[in-house]
Amino acid sequence: MPTVLRILGLRVSIRTNDHGPPHVHVVGGGKEAKFHLNCPQGPTALWENFGFRRAELNEIKSELDKALQLLCGEWSKIHGDF
């Protein structure tokens, strides 16, 4: 599971054996969330949450939205077009 970005002390990764639609896994502190990327225009959207508080999710989403082009590019490198 390649780490494609680090935000707020968390790892953002795209699993190489994963499926569409384009999404990322955000992991850290014993918590995990998945966000749809909605490539290429965004915005990101929470898909699943395992342990993050709402305020943390809002911060994560904001950071992911800022890095959307990078994340969509990484998804495309790993999985092809979206």
> Residue 53: its pLDDT value, please?
98
Q: Taking the model in full, what pTM does it have?
A: 0.94
| Tens-digit pLDDT string for the chain (82 aa) | 789 999 999 999 999 999 889 999 999 999 999 999 999 999 999 999 999 999 999 999 999 999 999 999 999 999 987 7
Q: Tokens at residue 30, please?
A: 């014993």
Domain range annotation of the chain: 3-79
> Residue 40: its pLDDT value, please?
95
Please tell me the distance from the alpha carbon of residue 42 to that of residue 10, in angstroms, as a whole number.
21
Please tell me the distance from the alpha carbon of residue 39 to that of residue 50, in angstroms, as a whole number.
23
